[in-house]
Amino acid sequence: MEMIGQVHQVNVKPQLQGERGLPKNSMASAYLTYCGLADDFNRYRHEKKNDDPDMALLLMPLEAIGQLNSEGWPVQPGDIGENITTVGIPYDNFQPGRIYRVGGAKIQISEKCDPCSNLYLLPFVGKERGPHFLKTMLNRRGWYARVLQEGLIAKGDAILYLNHADL
């Protein structure tokens, strides 16, 4: 096992009538189930993807958010709907098939998350800037993961890369 980063922030948003799953609110910790973080609701994943287990969790590196900030987009952790904001792991280090221990849980990266028009709802995006923001977010919206082992995840938890010998 190799510690490569940590949980910067845990983000959830409960199901609210007529609202989408972003921005998400910071929590000290949340329990990760096979369906996602407890008390988190993702309308797209639920209604359009039938609660696809490959989309149970969305991760986004803080470094990618910093890059967006330097390009003039005032994105904050949780804004784009990620459940876990990581720190210390470059965006491209996440790859489909890689397995990580995050706090008390174990996850496997499944696929990149594509940007969608729900991002227009962010106050700094809107309809006018929406198409430009979607292009900006292409190949850096975050990574979906499936849950291999349920467990508690908290701010500050280590993120460990598990190679085949660790499994």
Residues 11-52: tens digit of each pLDDT = 999 876 776 778 999 999 999 999 999 998 776 666 667 778
State the burial class of residue 132 (Cβ atoms within 10 Å of its Cβ: 0-12, 13-18, 19+): exposed
Taking each continuous run of H as one helix and of E as one strand, the counts in the chain are: 3, 11
On whether the pTM is more than 0.95, the answer is no
Q: What's residue 15's pLDDT?
A: 76
Evaluate if residue 72 carries a pLDDT over 70.
yes
pLDDT confidence band for 154 (50 / 70 / 90): very high
Please provide the CATH number assigned to the domain covering 2-166. 2.40.33.20
pLDDT confidence band for 96 (50 / 70 / 90): very high
Cα–Cα dist 67/62, whole Å: 9
Domain ranges in the chain?
Answer: 2-166
